[in-house]
Amino acid sequence: MRRLAAALLLAALVPLRLGAQDALGVPGALDDPGGRLAQALSAALERARAGGPSARLAFWGASHTASDQYTSVLRRELRRAAGDGGPGLVLPSLPFPLYEMRDVEVPDVPAFAGRFVRGARRTPGAYGRAGFALDVARRARAELTLRASAAPIAHVEVWAMAQPGGGSVGLEVNGREVASVDTEVGPPGTLVRAVADVAPGRHRFAVDVRGDGPVRLFGVLAESATPGVVVEAFGVPGARARDQEPWDAASFAEQLAVRPPDVVAIAYGTNESGDGTPLTQVEASVDAALDRLEAAAPGAACLVIGPSDRPRRRDGAWVARPRSTALAELFHRRAAAHGCAFFDLLAWQGGPGAIERWVGAGLALDDHVHLTDEGYAMLARALLRELGR
């Protein structure tokens, strides 16, 4: 009865959540004022089909985004409409557990130390396009391998940070060095790149840090020979919207300008539902994140994906968190204030407490937070349907 009452109250308070349930996944969860997001996506796909440049979508968020599960399905489905533009920016080694790119096999090389903002890790600095980076202090090498799902690659770059006394980095393709860069050259904190065009193919790419000085790596950019769709996933497990605040804005903007995205998205709020941060502070952090995106990618349409269901365990039972509803409403308000579309993930799942049915159906994990591959695929397809794709 409590769940039914909560669902009825939720429907009364938030008109967006009204609608008949279609098995698991409630339609009508997207609010796209004026259709701006749908129009921007359609225009970008049409441009890619007509010869370019590629249609680019970039997502920042927490663990739902870090694993590239729903974003990989968006990538696959949109490529059917406009071709494969390549993986985009990928880290050459794991910056943290759960980082995954479904088109690229990323190794775990201990010498490549992940640098990111989360919890007590709040060091201000240049974290680049992804919002996380790799520091390397000695000679080390990391090799990326394209998976079968990836298109042949014809253009590749290593992105690194200029810094005093910085070391040099080589870019290898199939075991042969094709470019290199000295990170001691350039204004501190800015982007330096090793760039190479290669014959289209399913190449192996390696980053060779030579050990002649410290190096901060922002990633490897890999692109196909022809325009298409590029979907980049930049999530950090456990992240909150406030974790973008220590990112150096100039570094972020500089790197977005190299390959400007057509759609930018943030997906936070799930972790905020489990802490006591005042909602006023969360609101300020969401505004700051959207301001950062507006400044760095002024031509992009924006999407805010709200928090998912995250019940807590109490006396042997899973109990919904009222804070989840308040956060969904907060993210919706801030999205509207910034002219962004909003996807109500909590409402799409069925409201607070609905995750239990997803677990029972094998579409969510036993932690009652994260979905399975099939569950995330449903999320991606639901978002595309509501965008008319």
pTM over 0.75: yes
Query: What is the per-residue pLDDT for 106?
Result: 97
Burial call 38-68: b when 16+ CB within 10 Å, e when fewer: bebbbebbebbeeeeebbbbbbbbbbbbbbb
Structure-block tokens of residue 80: 């059917």
Structure-block tokens of residue 77: 């489905």
> Counting beta carbons within 10 angstroms of the beta carbon of residue 254, is it exposed (0 to 12), middle (13 to 18) or buried (19 or more)?
middle
Strand locations in the chain (E): 30-31, 55-61, 88-90, 104-105, 113-116, 132-136, 140-146, 153-161, 168-173, 176-182, 191-201, 204-209, 215-224, 229-235, 263-267, 301-305, 312-314, 317-319, 341-343
pLDDT digits (tens, 9 = 90+) for 74-120: 999 999 999 999 999 999 999 999 999 999 999 999 999 999 999 99
Give me the residue spans of the domains in the chain: 2-386
CB 15 within 8 A of CB 8: no
Query: What is the per-residue pLDDT for 315?
Result: 86
pLDDT digits (tens, 9 = 90+) for 316-348: 899 999 899 999 999 999 999 999 999 999 999
Mean pLDDT in consecutive groups of 10 residues from the start of the chain, 389 residues:
35 33 80 97 98 96 97 97 97 97 96 97 97 98 94 96 98 96 96 97 95 98 97 98 98 98 98 94 98 98 98 90 96 98 97 96 96 98 96
Query: What is the per-residue pLDDT for 12?
Result: 34
CATH (residue range 2-386): 3.40.50.1110
Query: What is the per-residue pLDDT for 6?
Result: 36
For residue 92, CA distances in Å to 105, 160, 208 come to 9, 12, 10
Instruction: Note the maximum CA span of the chain.
Output: 66
Burial call 262-299: b when 16+ CB within 10 Å, e when fewer: bbbbbbbbbbbbeeebeeeebbebbeebbebbeebbee
For residue 296, CA distances in Å to 131, 299, 314, 332, 382 come to 13, 9, 43, 22, 28
Query: What is the per-residue pLDDT for 13?
Result: 33
Query: What is the per-residue pLDDT for 23?
Result: 58
Is the Cα torsion angle 43, 46, 47, 52 positive or negative in sign? positive
